[in-house]
């Protein structure tokens, strides 16, 4: 599932600190997630360079830039929604995300990007709380839609589900995360 951490790659910090970081990142979103998502429209593959072919190095840089901006505490909510697949459908979740002051202490850092196709990227990232890595080697995705790379909504939903499981102790389905 996107947003989950393989048990072999969890950080050595106590589990409750890591759980708190994931919960801080996603808690405000959990209650406000929209109940409807619509499938995105796939656009032609990104091209760079004179040959018009897919350039994975350039695309990886763009994916990393999107993720860095999306998870930055200084990025306005409207811009975050524009960087999320189906961002308009999840606008109330993004609003709640922005009003939680504790979320500003959590950041994500992309450590790797690979491409199973020219319109999908597998992203490896870590979560830090006040600059201290608390979850390492998390797995997520990005999608190329509308001429730009976006954080996949499944990644956000995976983080929400992880937070629900770790904080609430259950695997209750998250509204809007079908």
Name the average pLDDT for the chain: 72
Q: What pLDDT is stored for residue 89 in this prediction? A: 81
* Residue pLDDT, tens place only, 86-109: 988 876 666 655 556 666 777 889
Write the CB contacts of 80 (distance below 8 Å, at least 6 apart in sequence). 69, 70, 87, 94, 97, 98
Q: Which two tokens stand for residue 61?
A: 């840089």
CA 119 vs CA 42, 43, 106, 124, 159: distances in Å:
8, 8, 28, 17, 22
What mean pLDDT is predicted for residues 126-137? 86
* pLDDT the model gives residue 127: 85
Residues 6+ apart with CB under 8 A from 76: 98
Residue 121 has pLDDT above 90, yes or no: yes
Q: Which domains does the chain have, with CATH numbers?
A: 7-35+55-168 (3.10.450)
Q: Bigger pLDDT: 163 or 47?
A: 163
pLDDT of residue 134: 85
| Average pLDDT rounded to a whole number, residues 152-167 | 76
Q: Tell me the sheet residues that pair with 107.
A: 128
Check residue 125 and report its DSSP letter: E
> Who has greater pLDDT, 131 or 151?
151
Q: How far apart are CA 130 and CA 135, in angstroms?
A: 13
Which whole number is the average pLDDT over 135-147?
Answer: 94
pLDDT value for 95: 63
């Amino acid at each position: 599932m996107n947003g989950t951490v393989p048990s072999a790659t969890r950080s050595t910090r106590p589990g409750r600190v890591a759980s708190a970081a994931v919960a801080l990142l996603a808690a405000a979103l959990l209650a406000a997630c929209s109940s409807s998502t619509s499938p995105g429209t796939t656009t032609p593959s990104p091209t760079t360079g004179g040959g018009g072919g897919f350039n994975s190095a350039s695309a990886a840089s763009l994916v990393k830039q999107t993720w860095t901006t999306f998870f930055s505490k200084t990025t306005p909510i409207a811009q975050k929604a524009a960087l999320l697949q189906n961002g308009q459908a999840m606008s109330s979740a993004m609003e709640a995300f922005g009003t939680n002051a504790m979320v500003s202490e959590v950041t994500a850092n992309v450590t790797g990007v690979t491409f199973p196709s020219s319109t999908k990227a597998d992203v490896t990232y870590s979560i830090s709380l006040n600059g201290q890595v608390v979850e390492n080697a998390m797995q997520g995705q990005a999608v190329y839609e509308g001429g730009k790379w976006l954080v996949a909504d499944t990644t956000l939903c995976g983080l929400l589900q992880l937070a629900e499981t770790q904080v609430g102790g259950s695997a209750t389905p998250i509204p809007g995360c079908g």
